[in-house]
Amino acid sequence: MRNRNHISLSLCLLFGVFLLTAKPLTAADEEVSLTASVDRDQVSLQEYVVLKIEVEGSREEPELPDMPAFKIQSRGSSSHIQIINGAVSSKIEFTYTLFPQKTGTFTLGPFSITHRGKKITSNPITVTVTQAQASSDREPSEDIYVTAQVDNERPYLYQQIVCTFRFFRCVNVTQANLTDQPSFEGFLVEDIGKASEYQKNINGRQYVVTEIKKALFPIKTGVLEIGPFTLQCDMIVQKSRRRGFFQDPFFNDPFFGFTETVPRTFRTTPIQVMVQQLPADARPPDFKNLVGSYTISATISNPTVSVGESATLTLTIAGTGNLKYLTGIDLPPLENVKIYDDKPVYEQTITQGKIGGTMTLKKALVPSASGEITIPPISVSFFDPADARYKQATTQPLQLAVRPGTSTAPVPVAQAVPQSSSTKQEVAVLGRDIMPIRTTPKSLDPGLPNLRPMHVAVFGLAPILLFTSFVFIQRARKKTISDIALMRARTAYKRFKKSAKQLKHMATDDSSLFYQQASKAFRDFIGDKLGITGAALTPHELSDILYRSGIDEPLVQEAARLLDFLDAGRYGVVTHTVRERQDASAALMRLVRDIDRLLKTKPSPIQHNKS
């Protein structure tokens, strides 16, 4: 045991001496160097060069000289650190992609960095650029082969390109399956229709071609690689046999047993695509990564509505590109109008071999005040890769006429009772005759009716009784109007409970009936309780009215949130669960009960001001 302790102590002393005498492991004393290399020294205008610059002993990024014959894009860097026998070495590799712009022989570099005030340079590289070869059909000697290609090897970000896989064969095959497809990492992928089949003559040989097309939308820049397609099939070949009668092609049918199948596997060549960044200059502020060519139109379902009713604004965007991934369009603010978004509807089409379609966006507009509302032009910005610039499609302005809402206030009795009108008729003269001859003085006496004292008293008091009755009726009418408003307030909660009786059952049904009934019952209750028109109340107006009526702030906020919840379910695209609707129904019943109780104990300033 003692020997072990002595050994451990000796090792510790030796390690301490090593630490005191060893030189610190830093990269400060490393020799700094630059080395440049390319993956190929001869390319065509359709290809590109991968340039790698290896910096050893420093972390400085190299300075690139002007290279007008190439378009340069950085592909990032990778670092490596090694410790060998106590010596530290570090290395960083910077990678660039060079796209040739013209033909000729060009010298790349030398590239340089500045380290501790000293300029360090790399070796130069010579690259030759040739003209791109015209594309032509492959001239195969094989009976079966596969190809894969894209229609654009240098697309912009989000620009649609088409990847086409083709399976050629001039012999019979069975059990042909595309067993492995590329992952298309860095792309959004859409199928362009179904697989098609046709015949094609190539160098005098008749091939059957199966074609599969996919639309690819790159979602990141840089060099993206599309891996190989893998196809497996069984090729039918003729068995070896002596020539004779059975050599006739008729007997090549498998039914006769003179053929056999040979399994074959084919893979396409990987494809590299260089994705360009969208221009930063002149990019519209409302640009939402929409790339392609588009138009937009707008219609309104009903150009005339009442306050509290909804009109549907329909926006239709059509074109070719990544329209499916559009998240939406924001409307400019509209005064006295609340906007609810409906669920977008996308219908895909195929136009000239590319993905296109129509996106329909519906928005419910609910005005809260009467008047004329102008819906300004609505625009959508997009990048057109054909012209390499940003464009904007715009709708025409629309008009919305808003009528005053239907009032639930009582109609005064004086206005409700129809007033009878009498028309004075002129005396019509029907004819004339000779007056009778009066022969005695008595006949000249006009004669007065024989009135009793009671009759005289009745006729004398009649005007007084009529005036008194008129005053009584007028006072009764005014009192009736006041009593009706009071009766509305007193019976508001009872009528609400009657209207909301079925809400609990409606909450379990996945329809808008629950939101309509709950919203109407809640607004009618507020209108009846406070003697106002409640049908067109917005959450903001409801908050203001309840504040002025003396309702506590937490209850006011809960009422506004609940009304907004009901409006969102009624007009918008928001989808609530059954549990959320049931909770909203219970909260509404509790909220109305509390408001009714508080307004019974607190005078309403709204009613007071109106009286």
Residue 124 sits in the same domain as residue 150: no
Q: Which residue has the higher pLDDT, 415 or 278?
A: 278
Q: Which residue has the higher pLDDT, 395 or 8?
A: 395
Residue 596 lies in a domain: yes
Residue 271 sits in the same domain as residue 154: yes
Residue that finishes a domain, picked among 386, 403, 420 = 403
DSSP 3-state assignment of 166? strand
Residue 375 lies in a domain: yes
Residue that finishes a domain, picked among 352, 380, 403 = 403
Residue 379 sits in the same domain as residue 339: yes
- Contacts of residue 361, defined as CB under 8 A and 6 or more positions apart, other chains included, come to 314, 315, 316, 317, 328, 329, 341, 342, 344
Max mean pLDDT among 281-290, 426-435, 510-519, 592-601 falls in 281-290
Peptide bond into 249 cis (omega under 30): no
C-alpha 59/C-alpha 34 separation (Å) is 11
Residue 271 sits in the same domain as residue 348: no
Residue 548: pLDDT band with limits 50, 70, 90: confident
Residue 413 lies in a domain: no
476-479: long-range pairs with CB below 8 Å, 24+: 477/412, 477/413, 477/414
Q: CATH number of the domain that 51 lies in? A: 2.60.40
Residue 303 lies in a domain: yes
C-alpha 157/C-alpha 153 separation (Å) is 12
Residue 441 lies in a domain: no
Residue 451: pLDDT band with limits 50, 70, 90: low
Four-residue CA torsion sign, 151, 155, 161, 167: positive
Residue 1 confidence (pLDDT) above 70: no
Q: How far is CA 269 from the centre of its chain?
A: 38
For 524, the token pair is 């009618």
Note the residue count of the chain. Answer: 611
C-alpha 589/C-alpha 240 separation (Å) is 89
Residue 47 confidence (pLDDT) above 80: no
Residue 259 sits in the same domain as residue 311: no
- Of the listed ranges 128-132, 147-151, 338-342, 439-443, the one predicted with least confidence: 439-443
Amino acid 444: pLDDT = 55
Q: CATH number of the domain that 378 lies in? A: 2.60.40.740
C-alpha 258/C-alpha 256 separation (Å) is 6
- Of the listed ranges 43-52, 94-103, 470-479, the one predicted with least confidence: 470-479
515-523: long-range pairs with CB below 8 Å, 24+: 515/566, 515/567, 515/569, 515/570, 516/570, 518/566, 518/584, 518/585, 518/588, 519/563, 519/566, 519/567, 519/570, 521/496, 521/588, 522/496, 522/562, 522/563, 522/566, 522/588, 522/592, 523/563
Pick from 544, 568, 559: nearest CA to 590: 559
Residue 125 sits in the same domain as residue 148: no
C-alpha 528/C-alpha 490 separation (Å) is 9
Amino acid 436: pLDDT = 55
Residue 355 sits in the same domain as residue 300: yes
Amino acid 471: pLDDT = 76
Residue 418: pLDDT band with limits 50, 70, 90: very low
Q: Which residue has the higher pLDDT, 302 or 418?
A: 302
- Contacts of residue 297, defined as CB under 8 A and 6 or more positions apart, other chains included, come to 315, 316, 395
Amino acid 463: pLDDT = 80
pLDDT one-digit tens code per residue, 250-303: 445 554 455 787 778 888 999 999 999 999 999 999 999 999 999 999 999 999
Residue 436 lies in a domain: no
Q: How far is CA 270 from the centre of its chain?
A: 35
Residue 181 sits in the same domain as residue 87: no
Pick from 365, 391, 178, 179: nearest CA to 282: 391
Q: Which residue has the higher pLDDT, 213 or 481?
A: 213
- Of the listed ranges 200-214, 250-264, 317-331, 589-603, the one predicted with least confidence: 250-264
Residue 608: pLDDT band with limits 50, 70, 90: very low
Number of Cβ within 10 Å of residue 392's Cβ equals: 13
For 174, the token pair is 């069975």
Q: Which string of DSSP letters, residue by residue, matches 203-254? A: TTEEEEEEEEEEEEEE-S-EEEEE---EEEEEEEEEPP--SSGGGSGGGGSG
Measure the CA angle with vertex 52, ends 50 and 58; round to 5°: 160
DSSP 3-state assignment of 8? helix
Residue 452 lies in a domain: no
Pick from 501, 531, 503, 526: nearest CA to 516: 503
- Of the listed ranges 68-72, 364-368, 597-601, the one predicted with least confidence: 597-601
Q: Which amino acid is at 409?
A: A
Q: What does the pLDDT average to over 555-559?
A: 87
Residue 27: pLDDT band with limits 50, 70, 90: very low
DSSP 3-state assignment of 55? strand
Four-residue CA torsion sign, 557, 560, 565, 566: positive
Q: Decide: 507 and 584 in contact? Cβ < 8 Å.
A: yes
Amino acid 139: pLDDT = 44
Residue 267 sits in the same domain as residue 298: no
C-alpha 324/C-alpha 319 separation (Å) is 10
- Contacts of residue 370, defined as CB under 8 A and 6 or more positions apart, other chains included, come to 307, 402, 403, 404, 405
Q: What does the pLDDT average to over 15-25?
A: 47
Number of Cβ within 10 Å of residue 157's Cβ equals: 18
Pick from 306, 301, 303: nearest CA to 362: 301
Q: % helix / strand / coil in the chain, to the nearest 5?
A: 25, 35, 35
Residue 71 sits in the same domain as residue 115: yes
DSSP 3-state assignment of 349? strand
Residue 5 confidence (pLDDT) above 80: no
Domain that holds residue 230: 144-241+253-275
Count of domains for the chain: 4
% the chain with pLDDT above 90: 33
Residue 106 sits in the same domain as residue 148: no
For residue 95, report the phi and psi dihedrals to the nearest 5 degrees.
Answer: -120, 135
Number of H helices, E strands in the chain: 10, 29
Mean pLDDT of the chain: 80
Four-residue CA torsion sign, 585, 587, 591, 593: positive
Classify residue 156 by its DSSP letter: B
pTM: 0.53
Residue 136 lies in a domain: no
Residue that finishes a domain, picked among 83, 104, 130 = 130
Residue 197 sits in the same domain as residue 258: yes
